[in-house]
Amino acid sequence: MVDRPNKPSALAATPQQPIAQASVNIDSAAGRVTATLPTGESVDVLLHGATVISWKDASGDEKLWLSEKAILDGSKAVRGGIPLVFPVFGTAPDHAATSKLPQHGFARISKWEFLGKSTSESKQSGSSAEDTNVKLDFGLSSSSLDEKTRALWPYDFDLIYSVTLERTNLVTSIVITNKSAEAFEFEVLLHTYLRVKDINNVAVEGLEDSKYIDKVDGASTKTQSSSITITGETDRVYTPAKGPSEPVVVTEGGKKALSVVRDNFTDLVVWNPWTEKAASMADFAPKDGFKTMICVEAGSVKAFQTLEPGDAFEGAQTLYTL
């Protein structure tokens, strides 16, 4: 065998490109956590109430409505975004366990703990692009409540709230665990404010043939005959006729804009304050902001849920851009 002093060396292995990772920024001073995907989508969550205050697509378009006068310093609930309602929806003067709690309970006005992040990457079929998802976990427990709130609702519990950002959707899920020696009753709702261009061109589809409580009309029970359009103050609690996995779709100008899919939530609230109600709320701005928002809210609020000692309840919603 001839020894060739100038023989070519072995080819070097082609270096693999590093997988792009989602970035997560924790701003302790502002009390917020921001996550951004490599493709540009982002979500912003306040530790106050674990309130999602922003969700943007890759082009930077905001999907959630936030009042220009929303108070973000932790002194009161946030007007807009996705406030978390627990353990009571509205007020319940006839329900002894929650009758003395503030409107919509204490979860949205409590300081939550950021428990950490997790990310995942999955190869798209037939493409070299990477899908990167990021999940942010937040926690609230009975031990973190102040003495006044503990006195008003003296049950032991753990709440884990997860916000998962994906390229085309946002998933918000909650796990409620009863750590008391006795059962407790609760209601829970994801009070989602969606941003729209013009409420006059908006319709909500997928609730046809569904029964609802019309809170603007003396809490009378009605049945939805067609898609929902907003022409005045609207405050309705729907029990969807179709299953939770059936999308409820928000359209603008006849085009699908966004859909809501529920998981283990029995109800859906549709709300818009319109002119007079918007004018009466000090933190609602601009006053004609009702023209660019609609609330479509997944939850279980038509009746109290009973959670036995040691048991857990889990519910979620997924918001899809269309």
Which H or E run includes 152?
Answer: helix 147-152
Catalytic position from the list 182, 191, 208, 308: 191
Catalytic position from the list 185, 233, 297, 314: 297
297 tagged catalytic = yes
Characterize 123-148 residue by residue with b for buried, 16 or more Cβ atoms within 10 angstroms of its Cβ, and e for exposed: eeeeeeeebbbbbbbbbbbbeebeee
317 is in an annotated binding site: no
32 is in an annotated binding site: no
206's tokens? 């997928």
CA distance 308 to 170: 30
* Other beta carbons within 10 Å of 101: 18
CA distance 216 to 315: 27
CB 179 within 8 A of CB 142: yes
79 is in an annotated binding site: yes
CA distance 310 to 8: 69
CA distance 31 to 10: 54
48 tagged catalytic = no
Annotated binding site for substrate: 79, 103, 108
Residue numbers annotated as active site? 191, 297
